[in-house]
Amino acid sequence: MRSAFLTLLFVLPLAACDSPDAPAQTGVCWRLQQGADGQVSFAPLERNVGSLETCAVLLEARRLKGEPGTDGAYQGYFVFAEPAGISSAQRLQGFRFPIFQPPQRAAVDRDLLRVMRENGGRPPTATEITVERNN
């Protein structure tokens, strides 16, 4: 029993090594792309983004628009914009922390949909977004 436990202790950290790191470049909101072979790559969605929350809103706008693959990364953190919630994690398969609580997300979505209607369907840019954190 003890040898199986020790084996697991050595195997689990190795499994985490296979996970890619999120790009850490300052101020860039990345869009995560996953190939058919499971390989992960990143493409810049927008530069000069001031916060993880703003990046999350940019990704959420793409999700609301119906675009596939709306997960991304910001300064070393993965950002997930999914129907179940908007969250972040340090590892791709790591524990996800909510970025917005459900009432906050509802307000974000309402504002995004309004802005996209005003923009003729175009998602906003980072300069058009102001994220206010209410405690």
Question: What does the pLDDT look like over 56-96, one tens digit per residue?
Answer: 999 999 999 999 889 999 999 999 999 999 999 999 999 99
**Higher per-residue confidence, 100 vs 6:** 100
Residue 3 pLDDT exceeds 80:
no
Give the model's pLDDT for residue 4.
46
- Beta strand pairing call for 97-98 and 40-46: unpaired
- Please say if the pLDDT value at position 11 is more than 60: no
Within 8 A by CB and 6+ apart from 116, the residues are 61, 64, 65, 122, 123, 124
Q: What pLDDT, on a 0 to 100 scale, did the predictor assign at position 14?
A: 41
| pLDDT for the residue numbered 134 | 64
The mean predicted confidence, pLDDT, of the chain is: 87
- pLDDT for the residue 18: 64
**Whole-number pLDDT of residue 69:** 84
- Assess contact for 54 and 126: CB atoms under 8 A: yes
Three-state SS letters, the chain: CHHHHHHHHHHHHHHHHCCCCCCCCCCCEEEEEECCCCCEEEEEEECCCCCHHHHHHHHHHHHHCCCCCCCEEECCEEEEEECCEEEEECCCCCCCEECCCHHHHHHHHHHHHHHHHHCCCCCCCHHHCCCCCCC
Q: What is the pTM of this model?
A: 0.84
Q: What local confidence, expressed as pLDDT, does residue 135 receive? A: 55
Dump pLDDT digits (tens) for 24-47. Answer: 999 999 999 988 888 999 999 999
* CB-CB contact of 85 with 101 (8 Å): no
Please check whether residue 86 is in contact with residue 99, taking contact to mean a CB–CB distance below 8 angstroms. Answer: yes
**How big is the chain, counted in residues?**
135
